[in-house]
Amino acid sequence: MRPFKRFADLDLNEVVSFYDYENDLLIEKKIGELTPDQHKLLRQNEAEGAQWHAEHPIHHQNIVDHYNQATAEEKHAGHTWYSDAHHMAKVVAHDTKTPMHTMAGLISNYSPQTHWHTNILTAAKVAREKKALGGPGSGVFADNRQKDAAHRMLMGEHYDHVITGQKTHAFAHLIEHGGNKDPNKPKVVVDRHAYSVAAGARITDAAFGQTKLKSKKGYNHVADAYHRAAKQLSEQHGMQIHPHQVQATTWLVRQRLNGAQDTSKAKAVKGVAAKAKANWNKYAGEHHPSIVGKEPGTGNA
């Protein structure tokens, strides 16, 4: 999604993303290629998104409230999510003779807009075959930029120098170490669900295009809310709860809440998830049998 700009400030060659609710379609086009109706729709999205953000400001109490809705199972899964992902990645790295930082980078690189089990399957295949995937005809949901990033990491570059997105960089760091190892700034993965948690409500497509998460300042604004929530929750529960544990736990809660709203789509979503998991289990059973069924889950996703 693009960083938010006012409609009047858009360049004719700028690619914009907005949602056509009538046709249930995410549209991505250059501003100069839009039809009059699409121009009108873009302006409507802009207004609706701005209103949503005005009504749902980021606040750490929203995160605390989500955490306190978590079941015992969700808290356990959330607290161990990154350590479980680390151990899974470590086995794949060992089996494929891949450095751990490369394995973590590959998993993060192939994570955007991809189901978790499909994500780890793609990363594991790339690590085993030592061949980057991505672009048209590759059979995976990854573009040429992701293919190039995977190739660079396979050639030895550390993800610190390859992965520039703040979300994906934090994801790689947490998987590589099984938690946060940055004493100066604890890592937090802020995606669509994490943003919804911090805002206290499920974000709309129109509003998500205006989150400013691509800017360092905008991303850190949300990440800092997780830091404050972790501090409050640690004091509340009398134990240290790290920001990444709060994020993982509340992410699972948000998934559950979203699933309750999407009753008409629940069967289809579960079908996609089941197929992705079955594909991973089949591949892992052949190449990494010791970790079958031990990867962290994603709740209702």
Residue with tokens 């629940």: 266
Q: What is the pLDDT of residue 1?
A: 38
d(CA 251, CA 247): 6
Q: What gap in Å lies between CA 61 and CA 46, rounded to an integer?
A: 27
Whether residue 232 contacts residue 67, with contact meaning beta carbons closer than 8 Å, is answered with no
Cα–Cα distance measured from residue 94 to residue 79, given in angstroms and rounded to the nearest whole number: 25
CA distance 109 to 197: 24
How many Cβ atoms are within 10 Å of 97's Cβ, its own excluded? Answer: 9
* DSSP reduced 3-state for 227: helix
Q: Which of 105, 113, 239, 76 is nearest to 177 (CA)?
A: 105
The pLDDT, as a whole number, for residue 127 is 98
Q: What is the DSSP letter of 4?
A: P
CA atoms within 13 Å, Cβ hemisphere of 105:
26
Identify residue 84 by its one-letter amino acid code.
Answer: D
Q: Do you know the residue count of the chain?
A: 301
The pLDDT tens digits of the residues spanning 34-85 come to 788 877 877 887 888 889 999 999 999 999 999 999 999 999 999 999 999 9
Q: Which residues of the chain have pLDDT under 70?
A: 1-12, 14-27, 264-267, 300-301
The helix (H) or strand (E) run that includes residue 50 is helix 36-55
* Sequential DSSP letters for 66-102: HHTT--HHHHHHHHHHHHHHHHHHHHHHHHTT--HHH
pLDDT confidence of residue 17:
66
Cα dihedral: 71, 77, 82, 84 (round 10): 180
Contact status, residue 146 vs residue 110, Cβ threshold 8 Å: yes
Dihedrals φ, ψ of 211, to 5°? -75, -20
Predicted confidence at residue 215, as pLDDT, reads: 87
